């Protein structure tokens, strides 16, 4: 509270606002601390610097400076109200005011529109504390106006509902559904941040079932999933409900701690099914090539949303291989590891665990006659652990011999041929034709037809 105390000692009013207040009321640990004040930003900077506090002018045009207290950033903003949002994202003008209630009135959701002062207590003009108690997400003021101002608030409302485990109040729900098409005007990377937040909450299944209009507006590639009959004895649900069940499944099998690439893969693993659909003479549906096409679509979607490249690559590998046939034996386990290692060097082992988790969730989301496969995967997981414990062999770098050994034993010059020989040795080890033992591999190199 040093920033608040310093500003008030100089005759200005100051409050802690936003997420820190909400989290404190919920008994959660707060992270970012935001302060709002009656002081113009120039005065804020002057007063805080005079008190020995480091200040950075990070958003002066909007009245914001960032103080650094005990190594932590504290964004400090002058009370303000905002004009019209012609581009549905940024206010055309920002006007500074002297009443904190006016500042709170411009905020998106009641749970984010509260202020706290260590002496004056909680200021809650829109009932945010009651909404927290009731588990409700509600827009501040007129819901349609809030979402028309900034279409990204549509996804923010869904993200907060997911993160907090709340429901969305009916009038707010009606307004955000109506405003969802406005997401087309929002920068893709901002949409990506919100989708990432929904995935991180572990409640993407809820969002798919209850907020699909919003998600489909944010990710148009999802739209064809709704109502798509798979016409398969292996599937009791349409592609959308199956996807929701897989998203829930990866959380269940990972104890709610699914890795980020796995969450993205669960969401997008069947995204190409509608475009890959064909039906045989007996009326049964097929989806030939959908994992490969799904990986391409996943790469395109995640790239557009500015998800970092490593996560994209890992999610693509999981999508591409989610239908890979595997057996609970050394050869099959090594082949799986090799495919994953080839796609994402250095990540084969971690991705193998994720892939088995995705396969298990996929089985749980199919027809009842597929549920046994989710249990069968226990044996595959045990085989994977055994292979990793004794030292995985899924890349040339895992071999107990290297390029210098090939050159010496085969009496050849450095070049592409060395790599070919090493890859042939790796294939023999993966197929359990040779042990990954240095003497055995050297003996194989010495052998000459």
| pLDDT at 429 (0 to 100) | 87
Query: Over 80: is that where the pLDDT of 85 sits?
Result: no
Question: Phi/psi of residue 73, each to 5°?
Answer: -75, 140
Residue that wins the pLDDT comparison between 91 and 45: 45
d(CA 180, CA 304): 19
- Percent of all residues in the chain with a pLDDT value above 90, rounded to a whole number: 78
| pLDDT at 93 (0 to 100) | 64
Question: Phi/psi of residue 208, each to 5°?
Answer: -65, -35
pTM: 0.89
Q: Which helix (H) or strand (E) is 407 found in, with range?
A: helix 403-410
Q: What is the mean pLDDT of residues 138-143?
A: 96
Q: Mean pLDDT check: name the lowest of 99-108, 226-235, 423-432.
A: 423-432
Number of domain units in the chain: 4
Domain-terminating residue out of 66, 91, 126? 126
Judge if 118 and 230 occupy the same domain.
Answer: no
Please give the mean pLDDT across all residues of the chain.
93
d(CA 322, CA 319): 5
Give the tens place of pLDDT for each residue, 15-37: 999 899 999 999 988 778 999 99
Among candidates 296, 347, 365, 358, which has minimal Cα distance to 322?
A: 358
Instruction: Tell me the residue range of the domain where 197 lies.
Output: 135-218
d(CA 286, CA 266): 20
User: Which residues on adjacent β-strands are paired with residue 67?
Assistant: 55, 74
d(CA 331, CA 338): 10
Query: Over 90: is that where the pLDDT of 398 sits?
Result: no
Query: Over 60: is that where the pLDDT of 338 sits?
Result: yes
Give the tens place of pLDDT for each residue, 113-131: 999 999 999 999 999 999 9
Judge if 284 and 410 occupy the same domain.
Answer: no
Q: What is the mean pLDDT of residues 312-338?
A: 95
Judge if 370 and 240 occupy the same domain.
Answer: yes
Say if CB 157 and CB 207 are below 8 A apart.
no
Query: Over 80: is that where the pLDDT of 89 sits?
Result: no
d(CA 75, CA 122): 19
Judge if 189 and 254 occupy the same domain.
Answer: no
Query: Over 60: is that where the pLDDT of 334 sits?
Result: yes
Query: Over 80: is that where the pLDDT of 90 sits?
Result: no
| pLDDT at 56 (0 to 100) | 94
Judge if 191 and 51 occupy the same domain.
Answer: no
Q: Which two tokens stand for residue 386?
A: 């055994």
Domain-terminating residue out of 93, 126, 159? 126
Domain-terminating residue out of 171, 187, 218? 218
Query: Over 60: is that where the pLDDT of 346 sits?
Result: yes
Q: Which helix (H) or strand (E) is 411 found in, with range?
A: none
Query: Over 60: is that where the pLDDT of 144 sits?
Result: yes
CATH number of domain containing 401: 1.10.246
Q: Count H helices and E strands in the chain, helices first.
A: 22, 13
Judge if 387 and 440 occupy the same domain.
Answer: no
Judge if 106 and 179 occupy the same domain.
Answer: no
Judge if 191 and 266 occupy the same domain.
Answer: no
User: In sequence order, which residues have a C-beta less than 8 Å from that of residue 12 and are 6 or more positions away?
Assistant: 37, 38, 39, 43, 44, 47
Judge if 38 and 117 occupy the same domain.
Answer: yes
Highest mean pLDDT among 90-104, 352-366, 377-391, 423-437: 352-366
| pLDDT at 61 (0 to 100) | 83
CATH number of domain containing 179: 1.10.110.30
Say if CB 221 and CB 272 are below 8 A apart.
no
Judge if 156 and 181 occupy the same domain.
Answer: yes
Judge if 122 and 170 occupy the same domain.
Answer: no
CATH number of domain containing 116: 3.30.460.10
Judge if 422 and 315 occupy the same domain.
Answer: no
Place of tokens 């904190």: 100
At residue 411 the predicted structure's pLDDT band, cuts being 50, 70 and 90, is confident
| pLDDT at 440 (0 to 100) | 87
d(CA 264, CA 301): 10
CB atoms closer than 10 angstroms to residue 31? 9
Q: What is the mean pLDDT of residues 128-144?
A: 97
Query: Over 70: is that where the pLDDT of 253 sits?
Result: yes
């Amino acid at each position: 509270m040093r920033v608040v105390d310093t500003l008030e000692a100089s005759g200005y009013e100051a409050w802690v606002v936003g997420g820190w207040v909400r989290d404190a009321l919920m008994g959660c640990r707060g992270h970012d601390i935001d302060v709002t004040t009656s002081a113009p930003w120039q005065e804020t900077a002057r007063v805080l610097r005079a008190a020995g506090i480091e200040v950075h002018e990070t958003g002066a045009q909007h009245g914001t400076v960032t103080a650094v207290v005990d190594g932590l950033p504290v964004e400090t903003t002058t009370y303000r109200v905002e004009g019209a949002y012609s581009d549905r994202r940024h206010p055309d003008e920002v006007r500074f005011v002297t009443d904190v209630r006016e500042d709170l009135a411009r905020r998106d959701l009641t749970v984010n529109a509260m202020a706290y002062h260590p002496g004056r207590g909680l200021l809650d003009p829109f009932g945010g504390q009651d909404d927290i108690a009731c588990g409700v997400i509600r827009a501040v003021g007129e819901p349609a106006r809030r979402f028309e101002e900034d279409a990204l608030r549509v996804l923010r409302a869904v993200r907060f509902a997911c993160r907090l485990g709340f429901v969305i109040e009916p009038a707010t729900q009606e307004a955000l559904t109506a405003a969802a098409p406005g997401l087309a005007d929002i920068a893709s990377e901002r949409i990506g941040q919100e989708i990432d937040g929904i995935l991180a909450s572990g409640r993407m299944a809820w969002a798919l079932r209850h907020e699909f209009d919003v998600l489909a507006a944010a990710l148009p590639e999802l739209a064809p999933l709704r109502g798509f009959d798979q016409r398969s004895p292996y599937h009791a649900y349409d592609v959308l409900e199956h996807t929701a069940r897989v998203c829930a499944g990866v959380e269940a099998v990972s104890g709610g701690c699914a890795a980020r690439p796995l969450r993205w893969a669960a969401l997008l693993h069947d995204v190409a099914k509608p475009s890959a659909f064909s039906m045989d003479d007996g009326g049964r549906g097929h989806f030939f090539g959908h994992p490969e096409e799904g990986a391409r679509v996943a790469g395109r979607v995640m790239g557009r949303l500015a998800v970092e490249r490593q996560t994209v690559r890992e999610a693509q590998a999981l999508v591409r291989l989610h239908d890979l046939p595997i057996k609970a034996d050394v050869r099959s386990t090594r082949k799986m590891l090799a495919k994953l290692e080839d796609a994402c060097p250095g990540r084969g082992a971690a991705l193998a665990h994720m892939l088995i988790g995705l396969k298990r969730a996929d089985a749980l989301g199919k027809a009842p006659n597929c549920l046994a496969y989710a249990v069968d995967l226990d044996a595959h997981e045990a085989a994977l652990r055994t292979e990793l414990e004794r030292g995985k062999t899924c890349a040339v770098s895992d071999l107990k011999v290297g390029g210098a050994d090939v050159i010496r034993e085969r009496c050849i010059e450095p070049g592409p041929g060395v790599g070919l020989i090493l890859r042939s040795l790796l294939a023999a080890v993966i197929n359990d034709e040779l042990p990954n033992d240095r003497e055995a591999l050297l003996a194989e190199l010495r052998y000459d037809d």
